[in-house]
Structure 1
Amino acid sequence: MLAKVQEPYHRDRQQGTRNLNPQPYQAEYMGHKLHMDQNEKLAMYGVTHVVSIDGFSSKIVAHATMPIKNNLTIYEKVYRHAVVTYGMWDQVRVDHGTEFYLCLFVQELLAEHRHNRERRPYIQTTSTKNHTVERIWPEINQRVNYPVKMALVQMIDQETLDMDDPLIKYCTSNLSCQVSSIGVTRAVQAWNAHRIPGKGIPNVLAQDGCRKRVPEDLLPGPYEAADSYQQEMGNSLTRESVFGTNPFRSEEERIRAETQFSVLHPDIEVLFNSTVNRHYREFQESLIDLIDIARRNL
């Protein structure tokens, strides 16, 4: 029957093309493989999440939320933080995105400090093959991204939020990053403490860290690393990424606006709690307050 309905597929099966089992994933120990990936479900609102996860333990060892994916931020808060805290990984695995260039540059720079130097210091694959880190995103989407997105979509539908306005874009990104970061931190803590069937608890499996530790001063700061990258590669990296237009002309103006906002909304966790429980009004009103404060301080 298959030969009649779908002859090319039937022919492939006869030749064994479809019967080849994929090679099972292997990570031999904590520090063997470090997977890094980004989530851009809220990118149109100025929110991007990046995580790094150890392949052996499945522990999320570092994460960061930022307005736009940025090489220096990812290097400092995700790669560098993970290596300083847990040690040096033999191999870093990422997709082909340019946002990981600085991480890969430093990983190769420190290749001689790894436990197993026979392995390639990093591998770039398609995101569909980075399954180890991809498994966390459904959790982040359900617990964080979708509730925040729903609150913002409602505001756009009600025409109370104009994402074509650079100031509104900046304020939306600013508050959404703060609120989302709380949710991601909670999701990461829950993930690292849960038991994975047939494997164990990530926190327990990762408790001894990587086999090779490196002193913190061996890892350059983000700006120093970016300077070295430019000298070595001949290309410059974006130092700071801003979503929309920063309305503040000075640090004093920004601090004054934040102080005024904190008087009205002293606890950002309250905003996340209400949003994740599908009560969007408090978050929506706080965003409108932030926009009004920003306009008054222009």
Structure 2
Amino acid sequence: MALESHLKTIKDMRLQGSTYEDISSTFVSMGLEKGGSIHNIKKFCLRYNLKQKEVVSNTQLEAAVVQAVQETGPTYGRRMMAGYLASKGVHASQQRVAAALRVVQPPYHRARSQGLRNLNPMPYHAAYMGQKLRIDQNEKMVMFGVTYVVAIDGYSGKLVGHSTMPIKNNLTIYDEVYNKSAVLNYGLWDQVRVDHGKEFLLSLFVQDKLSGYRLDQERPPYLQTKSTKNHRIERVWPEVNNRVTYPLKSAIINLVNQERLNMEDNTVRFCLSNLSCQIANIGLQRFVDAWNSHSVSGRGIPNLLAEGGCRVKLTADQLPTASQAADLYDQENHASLTRASVFGRDPFVDATERHQAERRFAEAYSDITVLLDETVNHNFGPFQNALMHLVHLSSQHD
């Protein structure tokens, strides 16, 4: 194997603090065993002066970690924290990040050290980027009007699409996860895998319509299997839950237990879902950035493994909009897909009323990322107060 053709990838990995062993493992996982030994990688890096750069001082790194912990909470270890920092443009080795985590937040470090998890005991195989795409949903907060949907490439492990919505909806999933996030940005996958839920019908319908463009025509364009059969996605959800879902859910349950939140009131339900979806989506985006930039042991960094995307690329003209796809689906299947899903009842008569309430809320809470920062660090008060303020504003229009 001529390593020169992979110069950019190796250079990027060295800039992100990867060791010779890390780079070799990545190349082996890509099926490039010949020439990708640790010895050859080391010789190549020395020839091109590709040094393992430490681009920040210890003081700068610790300051960056303090800020990152404030945003992500206590559950990010060295791999995910290094990935999160890299997504922010701060590059340091996992060893230095681990040392910084021990220094800046000893209680959080001890709590992580005592936690034992077995997230993925079995392998999930895909031969190349674009062979298998898994789309799955997480309904741990469905009772509060929050549902996550993510799409992950089976080869690289990169999260290529995600959305947070009040209620799982075919058009939203197709538009925000399959269409605009995954296919338009990366290309067409040979096969889409989902569970047996009806919320994926529109995405599967379009995948079938596009099947003639695929690289591998022998493989079925989609499969419906149990979610537990998808070992890639099973690694993701526990991480999302620990870092975003459970802190936010705890804050809401605390309000319910104090009888400050009436879940029988449809305006309350609407406000709860609206704000919680926004906060949860910020946390999910942070997680996606960290996940795609972190180093997976024995494989490499998802962003690097996914470079170039799928082998078959499509243009926007080749993909129907959500509305067009739904119309075609309804015509061919004599069905009627739900066009929009709302949790509770929208109290606003028109867009003008909604904008007025949003403006007044923004005057009090101009940066809602702070609400997430406090919640993941177990300070629920700011989020709870913001939610009650939103309920108060919205109830005036009910």
Q: 1:264, 1:296 → 2: CA distance?
A: 17
Aligned residue runs from structure 1 range 22-61, under 5 A: 25-61=124-160
Aligned residue runs from structure 1 range 61-210, under 5 A: 61-81=160-180, 82-210=182-310
Q: 2:344, 2:354 → 1: CA distance?
A: 15
Residue 216 of structure 1, CA deviation: 1.2
Contact 2:123 2:231 in 1 (8 A): no
Residue 130 of structure 1, CA deviation: 1.6
Q: What amino acid is aligned across from residue 120 of structure 1 in structure 2? A: P
Aligned residue runs from structure 1 range 183-262, under 5 A: 183-262=283-362
Residue 116 of structure 1, CA deviation: 1.0
Q: 1:271, 1:149 → 2: CA distance?
A: 13
Contact 2:134 2:233 in 1 (8 A): yes
Specify whether residues 174 and 24 from structure 1 end up closer, same or farther in structure 2 by C-alpha distance, changes over 3 A only: closer
1:38-84 deviations in whole A, cap 9, x for unaligned? 00011000000000000000000010000000000000000002000
Residue 23 of structure 1, CA deviation: 9.3
Specify whether residues 24 and 148 from structure 1 end up closer, same or farther in structure 2 by C-alpha distance, changes over 3 A only: closer
Contact 1:37 1:134 in 2 (8 A): no
Contact 2:292 2:302 in 1 (8 A): yes
Q: Which runs of 5+ in 1 are unaligned?
A: 1-21
Residue 115 of structure 1, CA deviation: 1.1
Q: What amino acid is aligned across from residue 126 of structure 1 in structure 2? A: K
Contact 1:70 1:99 in 2 (8 A): yes
* Deviates most, 123-132 or 51-60: 123-132
Q: What amino acid is aligned across from residue 225 of structure 1 in structure 2? A: A
| TM-score, length of structure 2 as denominator length | 0.69
Q: 1:133, 1:24 → 2: CA distance?
A: 11
Specify whether residues 23 and 139 from structure 1 end up closer, same or farther in structure 2 by C-alpha distance, changes over 3 A only: closer
Contact 2:124 2:230 in 1 (8 A): no
Q: 2:246, 2:285 → 1: CA distance?
A: 16
Residue 135 of structure 1, CA deviation: 1.2
Contact 1:95 1:130 in 2 (8 A): no
Q: 2:122, 2:249 → 1: CA distance?
A: 37
Q: What amino acid is aligned across from residue 36 of structure 1 in structure 2? A: I
1:252-293 deviations in whole A, cap 9, x for unaligned? 111111001000000010000001110000000000000000
| TM-score, length of structure 1 as denominator length | 0.91
Specify whether residues 200 and 23 from structure 1 end up closer, same or farther in structure 2 by C-alpha distance, changes over 3 A only: closer
Residue 145 of structure 1, CA deviation: 0.3
Q: 1:23, 1:202 → 2: CA distance?
A: 19
Residue 26 of structure 1, CA deviation: 2.0
Contact 1:194 1:202 in 2 (8 A): yes
Helix, strand or coil at the partner of 1:52: strand
Partner of 2:7: none
Residue 297 of structure 1, CA deviation: 2.8
Q: What amino acid is aligned across from residue 26 of structure 1 in structure 2? A: H
Q: What amino acid is aligned across from residue 173 of structure 1 in structure 2? A: S
* Deviates most, 168-177 or 110-119: 110-119
Q: Identity over the aligned pairs, expressed in percent?
A: 54
Helix, strand or coil at the partner of 1:41: strand
Helix, strand or coil at the partner of 2:256: helix
Q: What amino acid is aligned across from residue 200 of structure 1 in structure 2? A: G
Contact 2:122 2:231 in 1 (8 A): no
* Deviates most, 253-262 or 130-139: 130-139
Residue 204 of structure 1, CA deviation: 0.2
Contact 2:187 2:312 in 1 (8 A): yes
Contact 1:64 1:181 in 2 (8 A): yes
Pairwise CA RMSD: 1.1
Q: 1:281, 1:25 → 2: CA distance?
A: 41
Residue 186 of structure 1, CA deviation: 0.3
